[in-house]
Amino acid sequence: MKLSGQQLKDFDELGYIFMPDCFPPEAVALLQREAAVIFSEQREEIWREKSGAPRTAFACHQYNKAFALVASDSRLIEPLQQLFGEQVYIHQFKINAKAAFTGDVWQWHQDFPTWHADDGMPDARAMNIAIFLDEVMPINGPLMVVPRSHKSGALKSNHDKGTTSYPLWTLDNETVTRLVAENGIVAPTGKPGGVLMFHANMVHGSSGNITPYPRRIVYLTLSAVSNAIKNPTRPEFIAHRDFTPVRSENIDALVDYARAQNALAAAAALV
């Protein structure tokens, strides 16, 4: 799947592209079930909030077939190959739970400063793709972005090890206030299956979720192969060391697998 001329223009100007209904309902149904199983497990790759509720399931594409198919889906891989003009590899893969009632904040930040400081990523030739697993609403802690903030480049960030359970290089209030005064804040919302692609220097964050509605989002971080990390300090399940180019799967691979698994689940429910 290639980005259109308008999508490329929007990405350049605004720093993000939102594609509602990118993944069909059959695929979403399977991913929702598999995510529930993953979050019920006790594994070192599953990071918890200070409250003990699950925050992030890292690297589940390495042990779950449905998420492995997401991580190589042509809807996600081809646009980034197009944007970077070369092959891409998976720098990180995760599901952020933002659990009902307990999901904690993600402070205002850009992704590249963390990838650079903690993993030794040379340039902002990597980016996050968010795939909505639940409906993302204005009330359940949607991801908020500051349009055009990617044009400011990598901003001075501070290592925040205290606000949440997950250390992050974050922005100060003055910087965020200035950028928001210029460009406002946008929170793309919508049904499960929507996809948001955003620049590595896009300023973004999300508030806590005190509603009864969970807000699970999958994040696939793809980097240009020429931009492989040089000095990782975080565990392999957070910053991958395998720089093999991702082989883009046929657009039907996930849906075919989902249909078969959904049929098995429906049959099992009848027994």
Ligand X SMILES: O=C(O)CCC(=O)C(=O)O
Rg value, the chain, Cα? 18
- Indicate whether 116 belongs to the interface with ligand X (CB under 6 A): no
Triad 10, 114, 218: Cα angle to 5°: 60
What region does 98 belong to: left with phi over 0, alpha with psi -120 to 50, or beta?
left
The site map against ligand X for 126-165 (x = CB under 6 A) is -----------------x----------------------
Q: Specify the DSSP element, H or E, that contains 81.
A: helix 74-84
Query: How many other β-carbons are positioned within 10 Å of the β-carbon of residue 107?
Result: 18
Phi, psi angles (nearest 5°) of residue 213:
-105, 110
Q: Cα–Cα distance between 54 and 31 in angstroms, integer?
A: 17
- Indicate whether 106 belongs to the interface with ligand X (CB under 6 A): yes
Q: Nearest distance from residue 216's CB to ligand X, in Å?
A: 9
- Indicate whether 118 belongs to the interface with ligand X (CB under 6 A): no
Query: How many other β-carbons are positioned within 10 Å of the β-carbon of residue 12?
Result: 12
Q: What is the largest CA-CA distance in the chain?
A: 60
- Indicate whether 237 belongs to the interface with ligand X (CB under 6 A): no
Which C-beta is closer to ligand X: that of 206 or that of 223? 206
Which C-beta is closer to ligand X: that of 47 or that of 106? 106
Q: Nearest distance from residue 143's CB to ligand X, in Å?
A: 5
Q: Specify the DSSP element, H or E, that contains 205.
A: strand 204-206
Which C-beta is closer to ligand X: that of 69 or that of 95? 95
- Indicate whether 81 belongs to the interface with ligand X (CB under 6 A): no
Which C-beta is closer to ligand X: that of 72 or that of 209? 209
Residues of span 15-44 touching ligand X by CB under 6 A: none
Q: Nearest distance from residue 6's CB to ligand X, in Å?
A: 26
- Indicate whether 111 belongs to the interface with ligand X (CB under 6 A): yes
Selected from 64, 204, 238, 255, the binder of ligand X by CB under 6 A is 204
- Indicate whether 206 belongs to the interface with ligand X (CB under 6 A): yes
- Indicate whether 47 belongs to the interface with ligand X (CB under 6 A): no
CB within 8 A of 174, min separation 6: which ones?
none
Which C-beta is closer to ligand X: that of 36 or that of 251? 36
User: Shortest Cβ contact with ligand X: which residue?
Assistant: 206
Q: How many residues bind ligand X (CB under 6 A)?
A: 9
- Indicate whether 201 belongs to the interface with ligand X (CB under 6 A): no
Q: Specify the DSSP element, H or E, that contains 152.
A: none
Q: Cα–Cα distance between 198 and 130 in angstroms, integer?
A: 8
Buried b (16+ CB within 10 A) or exposed e, 209-236: beeebbbbbbbbbbbbbebbbeebeeee
Q: Cα–Cα distance between 175 and 154 in angstroms, integer?
A: 12
Instruction: Give me the residues that bind ligand X (CB under 6 A), please.
Output: 96, 98, 106, 111, 143, 204, 206, 217, 219
